[in-house]
Amino acid sequence: MGEIRKKKLLFVFVSICMLLLVGYEARPFNHIEMNGMISVAHRGASNFAPENTQSAFRKALELGADFLECDVHLSKDGELIIIHDDKVDRTTNGSGYVKNFSLAELKELDAGGKFHTAFAGEKIITLNELLDEFYGEVGLLIEIKKPSKYPGIEEKVVDLLSEYKDLNGIIVQSFDIESMRKMNTLLPELEVALLMRPSIQSLSSQKISDLTSFATYINFNVSYVNKRVVNQIHNQGGKVLVWSTKNQGWVDKAYQYDVDGIITDYSIWPVEAPIQLVLE
């Protein structure tokens, strides 16, 4: 196996090797092939460094991820802010809704200390800052969070992405189907993805045909999808990414379903391992 392929496999499967430390019987490395699947770092390498920060994104790139996944909200002054929650309370030393802070105020918050003291002082970043550093180096999967709460956020994302001539390797996703339909209308050359809630029984062939008419990817929690649905999406020309429910067998299930990629934050690692490794 060549060095490039080894690096691509590393991001997902080194975690399986580490499970040996906690008694899980992992399959041999060469048994679980990526088979063309891409690896997506969920909020960066978010079990190694504070989620959605430069440290997490840099670590994911170092570990060989194919894509960095991030979440976007709007600040009070209309800046595209990378953070998962609509409030800053969980991941920073602040309190309140992102939309009630200006960019300058958000930059005053500590986005790393709650994860580990080694990351104290880590800053919240903007989508523009992420693109400045990582565009062209790795794929980017950008999730617009709750777009209905941020009128005009699609236009702001489009305005920013339109500054880049080549949008290959950039995907924008959301749980909001109409928001992604709008994104496709505003910037047809951009790939969009739909995040699906656990109601696949209502995902008829006709519905899949409609969704794949504008969305390149239809993405699922791996527990709420099956091979039949994946096959139907592929037959309509679409692709599928899955994310984990922290079940140790989820990578095997994704492989069996023949999905196109895996979104992971190393949730199946031992709790102590990621912090220890990132500090070495």
Q: How many Cβ atoms sit within 10 Å of the Cβ of residue 209?
A: 15
CB distance 142 to 172 below 8 Å? yes
Active site (catalytic) residues:
42, 84
CB distance 261 to 37 below 8 Å? yes
Phi, psi of 66 (to 5 degrees): -80, -35
Distance (Å, whole) CA 46 – CA 115: 10
Helix or strand run (H / E) with residue 41: strand 38-42
Distance (Å, whole) CA 72 – CA 91: 14
Residue closest to 115 by CA, chosen among 280, 279, 276, 275: 275
What percent of the chain is helix, strand and coil (3-state, nearest 5)? 40, 20, 40
